[in-house]
Chain A
Amino acid sequence: MTRVLPVLCVLAVVITVWFAASVPMNWSQAAALADDNASWADIAAATQSLERPLLPTPAQIAGNMVTTLFFYPITAPRSLLHHALVTAWESLFGFVISLGAGIALAIGIVHIRTLDRTLMPWLVASQAIPVLAIAPMVVVVLGNIGLTGALPKALIAGWLSFFPITTGMVKGLRSSDVMQRDLLHTYNATVSQIFTKLRWPSSMAFLFPAMKVAAPLALVGAIVAELPTGAQAGLGARLLTGSYYGLTLQIWSALLMAALLAVLAIGLVDVAQAVLVRGRGGRL
């Protein structure tokens, strides 16, 4: 309770301020639409239910989300669920690619000295590069050679989540104690035995935090990669069309849906971690 109560209090304050701010933010639009003899109270009430408000109220966004999530068939272009699933699939696809590639590269870096010395400085430096800037070009170029659909977006998503996974996994595979490695040496263990019995198990404590960083990044990558394709499907497309036509409710509900997906992704990593911890008798 001591952990939940402060968070709930802060959330309550945020939502109250939000409702309060929506009145002055939408005032001029509501006043312009109102009758000449409308009272202050009428205009204030109207600010809460505009069609394209400057700042929609939390109630409006929740209402819009419920409608677009549950009251359209899943194949309809208006269904938020449809767009959310498209984005979720692209980011999951990319995440799985980067998980495989990142772990493979980390294993290589840990065992082969040349790879370590040549690639690690570049991996560290690449954190400082705004990789997302190449998204439009990659999507356009791949579209030009006939690769469209989920793959280009998944590649961007995977490219973004690749670096945290690789660097986290390199740290993890090196995290085992020198004493323990020496002990395995005295048992005459081979490199692959040291890997499966010591390095891999002890790397898990680093892999899961890295995955928690990487999963939301994959989501951001997928959303941004959806922008340059003429906004066909996905949460990025919802953001872009909403921005073109001034549909603020659509923007906010797409944004909130993206946030929910991020929370869901982190939660899934947590569940996977809990399963692993249980299988190992309570330790990671």
Chain B
Amino acid sequence: MNTTILLLLSLLTGCVVLVLLARGDSRPCRIATPIVFGLLVLWIWQVACVGYHVPFVLLPPPSDIGVAIATHIPILAVDFRQTVLRSVIPGWLIGSGTGLLAAIALDGSPFLRRGVLPLGSLVSAMPIVGIAPIMVMWFGFDWQSKAAVVVAMTFFPMLVNAGAGLAQTSAMEADLMRSYAAGYRTTLLKLRLPSALPFVFNALKLNATLALIGAIVAEFFGTPIVGMGFRISTEAARLDLGVVWAEIVIAAGIGTMSFALLSLLERLVTFWHPSYH
């Protein structure tokens, strides 16, 4: 009974605070509103789980997830090394890099571009994670097969986005470069690649999430006994949900961090873009 009153009370206060905060138009208000909402969700989750004695296997309270993270740091570190440092980052770099190079190479030939880009966007809409068992067969159980899945998943979004970005320059801008007697190479480096940068960053951000998903899901198909996806699937089957939640929180944190870092880098590199003025 006490729990119900406490929950209703916090819900009411939370809602009032949120409504008041959302009225404000200043920057602190805009930032504070979602944070307060997040804290409110965590608080209600905690109170409800503890108060109603929700079984741990169903939904552990946030405090227990925090404890699970703190007590499993060695395992989490090993899994982070295996999944993120060995599979995600190399795969993401290779996939995005080759995708960008392929887009530049295609750019020279309109025929190839018209042939490859439609297929590329079709392939990037497909469930590419499914190739994980094939990659495991080809590259073995260790991180190489996961990196290969990540490469396959990140290549096509970058190809399609960079291809669209390179097609962005207007005839006027191209004419201006021609009047400067700039060749293909100069035009590419000084005009077309910079104007494609917002598209490239878009693909990089998209690929960061895709790379994490690819590596984690690929580990569901077989792996040496280490890695975030391996831990999630095996410990979930054994109902040891503390570790699973800890891994999920870490994965969400990595995803958000990489998104934030890439956004920051984008601002630094494309400071001239009209959307920032």
Q: List chain A positions with a Cβ less than 8 A from chain B.
A: 2-3, 5-11, 54, 113-114, 116-122, 125, 127-134, 136-137, 140-141, 144-145, 212-213, 216, 219-220, 223-224, 227-228, 235, 239-240, 242-243, 246, 248, 251-252, 254-255, 258-259, 262-263, 266
Interface residues in B37-81 (C-beta closer than 8 Å to A): 37-38, 57-59
Residues of B within 8 A of A145 (CB): 58
Q: How far is the CB of A210 from chain B (nearest CB, A)?
A: 13
- Give the contact stretch, choosing among B90-98, B162-170, B187-195, B225-233: B225-233
Chain B residues 118 to 165 lying within 8 A of chain A, measured CB to CB, are 118-119, 122, 125-127, 129-134, 136-138
Q: Does residue B19 face the partner (Cβ distance < 8 Å to A)? A: yes
User: Is B239 touching A258 in the complex (CB atoms < 8 A)?
Assistant: no
Q: For B15, list chain A residues within 8 Å (CB).
A: 114
The interface residues of chain A, by DSSP majority, are classed as: helix
Q: Which residues of B contact A7 (CB under 8 A)?
A: 114-115, 118-119
- Tell me how far the C-beta of B276 lies from the nearest C-beta in chain A, rounded to whole angstroms: 17
Are B213 and A228 in touch, CB under 8 angstroms? no
| Count of CB-CB pairs between chains A and B under 8 Å | 173
Is there an interface contact between B114 and A129, defined as CB atoms closer than 8 Å?
no
Bound CA–CA A242/B247 (angstroms): 28
Min Cβ gap A58→B in Å is 14
Contacts A6-B114, A220-B129 known; A127 to B209 CB distance under 8 Å? yes
Stretch in B3-11, B172-180, B250-258 with 4+ CB within 8 Å of A = B250-258
In the complex, the 9 A-B pairs of residues with the closest C-beta atoms, listed nearest first: A6-B115, A243-B133, A128-B259, A10-B115, A121-B34, A117-B22, A118-B37, A130-B212, A6-B114
Please list 29 pairs of residues, one from A and one from B, whose beta carbons are closer than 8 Å in the complex, sorted by A's number.
A7-B114, A113-B22, A113-B23, A114-B15, A114-B22, A125-B256, A128-B208, A128-B258, A128-B259, A129-B209, A129-B252, A132-B129, A132-B213, A133-B232, A136-B233, A136-B237, A140-B239, A141-B236, A144-B58, A219-B127, A227-B221, A240-B221, A243-B133, A243-B137, A251-B133, A251-B134, A258-B130, A259-B127, A263-B122
Interface residues of B, Cβ cutoff 8 Å to A: 15, 18-19, 21-23, 30, 33-34, 36-38, 57-59, 111-116, 118-119, 122, 125-127, 129-134, 136-138, 205, 208-209, 212-213, 216-217, 220-222, 228-229, 232-233, 236-237, 239, 241, 244-245, 247-248, 251-252, 255-256, 258-259
A213: which B residues are within 8 A, CB to CB? 125
**Are the CB atoms of B131 and A141 closer together than 8 Å?**
no
User: What are the residues of chain B within 8 A of A114 when measuring CB–CB?
Assistant: 15, 18-19, 22, 33
Please give, as numbers and ranges, the residues of chain B lying within 8 Å of A113 by CB-CB distance. Answer: 22-23
Chain B residues whose CB sits within 8 angstroms of the CB of A6 once the complex forms = 111-116
- Whether A140 and B236, one on each chain, are in contact in the complex, defined by CB atoms closer than 8 angstroms, is yes
Q: Give bound CA distance, A121 to B22, whole Å.
A: 13
Contacts of A259 in B (CB 8 A): 126-127
| CB of B261, distance to nearest CB on chain A (Å) | 11
Contacts of A255 in B (CB 8 A): 127, 130-131, 134
Q: Which residue of B lies closest to A114 (CB)?
A: B22
In angstroms, how far is the closest chain B Cβ from the Cβ of A94? Answer: 14
Residue in B closest to A261 when the chains form the complex, CB atoms: B127
Given contacts A125-B259, A137-B244, A252-B134, 4 further A-B contacts (CB under 8 A): A113-B23, A136-B236, A239-B133, A254-B130
Contact of A133 among B111, B248, B258 (CB under 8 A): B248
Q: Once bound together, how far apart are the Cα atoms of A260 and B253, in whole Å?
A: 34
Contacts of A219 in B (CB 8 A): 127
Known contacts A3-B114, A10-B119, A129-B252; A119 and B37 CB within 8 A of each other: yes
Q: Evaluate contact between A137 and B22: CB separation under 8 angstroms.
A: no
Q: In angstroms, how far is the closest chain A Cβ from the Cβ of B57?
A: 6
Given contacts A118-B34, A216-B125, contact A242 B133 (CB under 8 A): yes
| CB contact between A118 and one of B22, B59, B111, B247 (< 8 Å): that residue | B22
